[in-house]
Amino acid sequence: MRELIACAFVTGDPKMRPHREDLGRVFNEVPELYDRVRPGYPDELFADLRAVTGMDEGASVLEVGCGTGQATRSLAALGCSVTAVEPGGDMAAFARRRLASFRNVEVETSRFEEWDDRGRRFDVLVAASSWHWVDPSIGWQRAHDVLHPGGWMALLGHVVVRRPGEPEVYAETADLHERFSPGNPDWGHPPLEEDVRSADEGWGLVDDPGGLFGPTMVRWYPTVQWFTGDGFADHLRSLSLYRRLDREVREPLLDAVAERIRTRMGDRASRRYLSLLRVGQRARFGWYTDSEFGAPHQPGQ
């Protein structure tokens, strides 16, 4: 089941971890498209994040991998002071333009592993659909180190899912995917929504942080995007799975997908997600605080 869920993440693929350094190049090519077609996060998620972490207008937030600033805008609207780190130069420039009206946001261009924190410490670290791009042998410890004692780690993401009996694009286009890119190990049907809810826990598919953070609170938020055939093809153009394909393969495939949606699905296709929030508190001197009950625990108990 975990392998099936891995194929459904829309914002990255853990199989690509040896190529993390290519993140800036993969998404840096299409910042405008990325910002236009990628799903945002529901307001309820940020309300829950604020309630759990106690974020207020005086809180300091570090966002790792801000992309074009989709989640950053929601964080900034809470009134927090946000430092956003983004490895792609064009993505970071786009984010600065989109966030120019927020005086409480600063965007810095760097990979998190190499970022100069200049001694700054934060109340909350947020990674929205980006933490799988961070080297876990460096990232978890850095996250722990840049947080204040009692600070919080929050991972946001989306999992593509399907519901029984509901038309789904990959089911309608699997033959096209095999025709243009046969045997691609990344092709596969999205998991059922109920299977994802019942199987996922903890920090999910990313490497475990060990004793650096306490137990996670996990919450799911069903969301859906609707596209025309051309719009769905543009959405796929923003995904690493398709951007890795040679252009001579990708563009005929996506043109065929768009045509299939027009002719078989009435030019209306959905992309259904479970948006998710994972939150855990920074461990302090080997101890952590349970995020639900505030009771002290020692790792391993």
**Secondary structure (H, E, C), 229-289:** HHHHHHHHHCCHHHHCCCHHHHHHHHHHHHHHHHHHCCCCEEEEEEEEEEEEEECECCEEE
pTM (2 decimals)? 0.83
pLDDT in tens, the chain (301 residues): 433 333 343 333 334 344 555 544 566 667 777 778 888 899 999 999 999 999 988 899 999 999 989 999 999 999 999 999 999 999 899 999 999 999 999 999 999 999 999 999 999 999 999 998 899 999 999 999 999 999 999 999 999 999 998 899 999 999 999 999 999 999 999 999 999 888 777 887 667 788 899 889 999 999 999 999 999 999 999 888 898 899 999 999 999 999 999 999 999 999 999 999 999 999 975 444 444 334 333 333 3
Closest CA to 26 of 253, 243, 242: 243
